[in-house]
Amino acid sequence: MIQTFKLTIEYDGTRFSGWQRQAGQATIQGELEQVLSRILNQPIRLAGSGRTDAGVHAWGQVASFCADTDMPPPVLKKGVNSLMKYPIVLTECVRVPDDFHAQYSAVSKEYNYYILNRDTPCAVARDYVWHIPVCLDLDVMNQCCQLIKGTHDFTSFENTGSQRRSQVRTILMAKVDRQDPDRLVFRICASGFLKNMVRNLTGTLVDAGKKKITPQIFEQILAGRDRSLAGATAPARGLFLKQVHYR
């Protein structure tokens, strides 16, 4: 019997070449498909909610696939987690209606970007934060976050190589919070994201936090629709896909 499954996946992306399957490269999609194909004894091809770049992590990546099987989802989840040799874990496996698609059924996605904001770097968990030794102005960064809320053209924050038809996206939530005296987290939720958009926004927000640019200049960068106006791309290691939202 053909069944459609939805997977929620947590992974450490440090040593992977991103989510998407690539010949000769270790990817999250590739590793999961190998294990699923072995368990279900048939070729499995996953549809992911979206790509994450090399080095980016996830707590709530979502993928879907169809398979001819009567295996209960809890048994499939346990089998994948027991056979997986890499830092990839299924946190949920459920059956869903046949018209569910991990990418096309999604209505929004939420990312977190973590910054270690102190003079000394860290020895533990250094693969999960961007170290900024200069004190950042949280108020200025949040003034800039207010400017990107709503629907805008984000060409200034898109790296080259994207095949998107439109650069217009709707930001539902954007803010920078202080987790503790040394750590900041940039939280953003949107209808969708362009290539490297969160990392480019983060790099530009850090420029604002360093007082290199003002919120007024940030607004001009957004309106300018020119990638050369914005800041550098933040490192992949601080970025986590937190959750994908569905109706």
- Catalytic residue IDs: 53
Torsion, Cα 197 198 200 201, to 10 degrees, reads: 110
Phi-psi region of 76 (alpha: psi -120 to 50; beta: other; left: phi over 0): alpha
Which H or E run contains 220?
Answer: helix 215-224
Place of tokens 């490269």: 25
Determine the Cα–Cα distance for residues 207 and 195; give it in Å rounded to an integer. 20
Q: How far is residue 23's CA from residue 41's CA, in Å, rounded to a whole number?
A: 22
Contact 78, 45 (CB under 8 A): no
Give CA 166 to chain center in angstroms.
19
Phi and psi at 80, nearest 5°, equal -60, -45
How far CA 1 is from CA of 23, 39, 76, 160, 189, in Å, comes to: 31, 16, 15, 43, 37
Q: Is the Cα dihedral 137, 142, 143, 147 positive or negative? A: positive
Residue 43 to residues 46, 120, 124, Cα–Cα distance (Å): 10, 48, 39
